[in-house]
Structure 1
Amino acid sequence: MSCARDAGQHDQHGGAALSQYYDVGDRTLWNPSNGASRLFMSQVSVYQAELGLPSGIGPMQADECQIDPLVFKEFVDALLAWRRRTSHEVMAALSEGFVAAVLVLAERAGIEVNWLPAGFTEDGGLKDVQAPAAPVSSEGAWAAALQCKSRELARFMTA
């Protein structure tokens, strides 16, 4: 991958690179297609604004971006806390894939995520509550379902 990657990888017709790289140092965590990367980076922007925090991902330069693991850990922990407090089923559905993809990157970066922050209570300070209310699931079930989704998605996120 080094020659094609360093030379600005081109397709057989001389077009632009076909994929992008998300790296921590010299280790590649993910090598998605340009379309998947563009969609992911758009969602990164959305959740940075929603959380009021930088993600530690970016910027994409020459089809590569570096992830700052310390900043990324804070973003991942805040994203999980945000998701945990959101019981709105539509918001949960919209965020599920993004959160799972972020968890794959965190795991590959060796980041231990904070599933239950200090002082967490069972209601978790819910916000954006669904009306009518969705069935309440236990914290353990929510975390297990998200971990399962992340493991499934990891199979499709080539490094």
Structure 2
Amino acid sequence: MGPLSYEFETADRTRTLWDPALRVGQLYVSLAQGAGGQLGLPTGLTPNERGGADVDLETFRKFTQGLYDAYCSTRHFIMHDLMRGLLLASIVMLENGGGAITRVPEREAGLLTEHDAYQRGMWVED
């Protein structure tokens, strides 16, 4: 039997940022890579030998900030819907690593109304 989850850890492997089900983690990585390619941003996610990903927090912070800035730069509701899940998961994972992005709340178009639900769903033990 193969792995059941897809663990995201800091690059130095001292902290787990998120430990979703295998297919959820794989889908997140695919979406992040696609968005990163579209935005010209490295994700900071590196697949590891344990079947998860190591996360370079500074690169990942820049990626998450770039996603956020792209989200806030448009009022296109379909673009917002397409980006929302990836962006919220990225923000929570970054926060789980002690990081944060620079926010402009008046441009968020309700983005963080689901933040608490994502935070509860992505809870990890310190």
**TM-score bucket of the superposed structures, by smaller chain:** 0.7 to 0.9
Correspondence 1:40 to 2:44: no
Residues 104, 151 of structure 1: 8 Å contact kept:
no
Match of 1:56 in 2: 44
Deviates more, 1:147-156 or 1:66-75: 147-156
Cα pair distance change 1:101/1:20, threshold 3 Å = same
**Whole-angstrom CA distance in 1 between matches of 2:96 and 2:113:** 15
Question: Does the aligned pair in 2 maintain the 1:56–1:67 contact within 8 Å?
Answer: yes
Partner SS for 1:44: helix
Residue aligning to 1:140: 106
Matched, 1:95 2:83: yes
CA contact (8 A) 2:65 2:102 kept: yes
**Where in structure 2 are the equivalents of 1:119-138 lying within 5 Å?**
none
TM-score, normalized by length of structure 2?
Answer: 0.87
Cα drift, residue 23 of structure 1: 0.6
- Indicate the percent of aligned positions where both proteins have the same amino acid: 26
1:17 is aligned to 3
TM (normalized to structure 1)? 0.71
Aligned counterpart, 2:120: 155
Number of matched pairs: 122
Q: Gapped runs of 5+ residues in structure 1?
A: 1-14, 117-138
Bigger helix share: 2
> Could you tell me how far apart the structure 2 residues matched to 1:61 and 1:90 are?
36
Structure-1 residue corresponding to 2:93? 105
* RMSD over aligned Cα atoms: 1.6
